[in-house]
A and B are shown apart, each in its own frame.
Chain A
Amino acid sequence: MIWLDQAMAPSYLGFLVACGVALLVSIPLPISLEAYRGVLGPLTAPLFLYVYPLASGILGLNLGAISAFREERRWVVARLAGRIAVANVAALPLVVFVRSLRPDNGMALVLSVAAAFLSGLLWAVISRLVEENRRRPPGRRRAIKYLAFAACVLLPIPAVPALSPVTSGAGFIEGITGGRIALGTIVPLVAVGVAVILLRHRLGGDRGG
Chain B
Amino acid sequence: MATTVALIGVLQLTGWASENLDVRLAFSGAFRAGSYAPIDVRLSQDLRARTDQLRFTHVLGDAWHGEASFEFHRSVASAGPAWLCSVLPVYDFTSPLHIAALDADGRVLAEETVELRAGARTDPLTLRVGRFPYSIGDDAVAVDASSLPISWWAYEGVGVVWIGRVADGLAIPAWEAINHWIVAGGSAVVFTGSDLPLIDCEPLQSILPWISPQVVRLPDGTDVAGGKLRPTAEIVWTEEPDIQLVRHDLGLGTLYAVTVGAGRCSREILEQIAAHVDAAAVPSLVAGTATALLRTPLQTPGHGPGAAIVIVSIALVAVASYTVRRQRTALLLVVVGAGCAAVCSGLAGDATKRGIDLYITSTVVQVVASVGSEMHCTGMMALTPTAVALDGVAPPLLASSPRHPVSTYIASRWDAGRGGSIPVGAGEDVYATCLQAMPARISARETGEATLRVVNALDSALEEAFILRRGSVYHFPQGIGIGEWELALDEGEPLHGAEFGDSPWRPVADRLGAALLSRLHVSTAGTGRSGFWLVGVNTHRDVESQGDLSRKVSVTEVVLVQGTSEPW
With a CB–CB cut-off of 8 A, which chain B residues contact A106? 548
Once the chains are docked, how many angstroms separate the CA of A94 from the CA of B316?
13
Verify B294–A32 contact, CB threshold 8 A: yes
Interface of A is mostly: helix
With a CB–CB cut-off of 8 A, which chain A residues contact B384? 44, 102, 104
Verify B359–A33 contact, CB threshold 8 A: yes
A36 interface residue (CB < 8 Å to B): yes
Picked from B312, B321, B330, the residue with its CB within 8 Å of the CB of A93 is B312
With a CB–CB cut-off of 8 A, which chain A residues contact B108? none
Verify B548–A105 contact, CB threshold 8 A: yes
B327 interface residue (CB < 8 Å to A): yes
B302 interface residue (CB < 8 Å to A): yes
Q: What's the minimum C-beta distance from B177 to chain A, rounded to whole angstroms?
A: 37
B283 interface residue (CB < 8 Å to A): no
List B residues 417-450 near A (Cβ within 8 Å): 426-427, 429
B296 interface residue (CB < 8 Å to A): yes
Once the chains are docked, how many angstroms separate the CA of A84 from the CA of B183?
70
Verify B293–A33 contact, CB threshold 8 A: yes
| Residue-wise interface mask of A (163-174) relative to B, using a CB-CB cutoff of 8 A (1 in contact, 0 not) | 000000000000
Picked from A44, A86, A90, A101, the residue with its CB within 8 Å of the CB of B426 is A44
Verify A4–B330 contact, CB threshold 8 A: yes
Interface of B is mostly: helix
Closest B residue to A99 by beta carbon equals B349
Closest B residue to A174 by beta carbon equals B385
B549 interface residue (CB < 8 Å to A): yes
Closest B residue to A12 by beta carbon equals B317
A31 interface residue (CB < 8 Å to B): yes
With a CB–CB cut-off of 8 A, which chain B residues contact A92? 338-339, 341-342
Q: What's the minimum C-beta distance from A72 to chain B, rounded to whole angstroms?
A: 14
A41 interface residue (CB < 8 Å to B): yes
Verify B338–A97 contact, CB threshold 8 A: no
Closest A residue to B549 by beta carbon equals A104
Closest A residue to B548 by beta carbon equals A103
B28 interface residue (CB < 8 Å to A): no
Verify B342–A4 contact, CB threshold 8 A: no
Given the known A-B contacts A4-B327, A30-B297, A32-B295, are A89 and B346 also in contact in the complex, defined by CB atoms under 8 Å? no
List A residues 39-66 near B (Cβ within 8 Å): 40-42, 44
Once the chains are docked, how many angstroms separate the CA of A89 from the CA of B316?
11
A138 interface residue (CB < 8 Å to B): no
Q: What's the minimum C-beta distance from A55 to chain B, rounded to whole angstroms?
A: 13
Picked from B313, B322, B331, B338, the residue with its CB within 8 Å of the CB of A9 is B322
Once the chains are docked, how many angstroms separate the CA of A23 from the CA of B348?
14
List A residues 11-42 near B (Cβ within 8 Å): 12-13, 16-17, 19-20, 23-24, 27-34, 36-37, 40-42
Kindly name the residue among B310, B346, B549 whose own CB sees the greatest number of chain A CB atoms within 10 A: B310
B305 interface residue (CB < 8 Å to A): yes
B307 interface residue (CB < 8 Å to A): yes
With a CB–CB cut-off of 8 A, which chain B residues contact A8? 321
Verify A94–B295 contact, CB threshold 8 A: no
Verify A103–B550 contact, CB threshold 8 A: yes
Once the chains are docked, how many angstroms separate the CA of A13 from the CA of B354?
27
B201 interface residue (CB < 8 Å to A): no
With a CB–CB cut-off of 8 A, which chain A residues contact B318? 9, 13
With a CB–CB cut-off of 8 A, which chain A residues contact B299? 30
Picked from A1, A37, A42, A91, the residue with its CB within 8 Å of the CB of B313 is A91
B269 interface residue (CB < 8 Å to A): no
A75 interface residue (CB < 8 Å to B): no
Closest A residue to B337 by beta carbon equals A90
A159 interface residue (CB < 8 Å to B): no
Picked from A37, A42, A86, A94, the residue with its CB within 8 Å of the CB of B429 is A37
Verify B310–A24 contact, CB threshold 8 A: yes
Q: What's the minimum C-beta distance from B291 to chain A, rounded to whole angstroms?
A: 9
Picked from A32, A91, A103, the residue with its CB within 8 Å of the CB of B355 is A103
With a CB–CB cut-off of 8 A, which chain B residues contact A91? 313, 338
Verify A28–B322 contact, CB threshold 8 A: no
Verify B345–A97 contact, CB threshold 8 A: yes
Once the chains are docked, how many angstroms separate the CA of A32 from the CA of B338?
34
Verify A90–B295 contact, CB threshold 8 A: no
Once the chains are docked, how many angstroms separate the CA of A137 from the CA of B105?
75
Seen from chain B, the residues whose Cβ lies within 8 Å of a Cβ on chain A are 293-303, 305-307, 309-314, 316-318, 320-322, 324, 327, 330-331, 334-335, 338-339, 341-342, 344-346, 348-350, 353-355, 357, 359, 381, 383-386, 426-427, 429, 548-550
Closest 7 CB pairs of A and B: A100-B349, A41-B427, A20-B310, A9-B321, A34-B294, A93-B341, A100-B354
Q: List 23 A-B contacts (CB under 8 A).
A: A5-B327, A9-B321, A23-B309, A24-B306, A27-B300, A27-B302, A27-B303, A28-B300, A40-B427, A44-B426, A92-B338, A92-B341, A93-B342, A94-B313, A94-B345, A96-B345, A99-B349, A100-B349, A101-B301, A101-B349, A101-B354, A103-B550, A104-B386
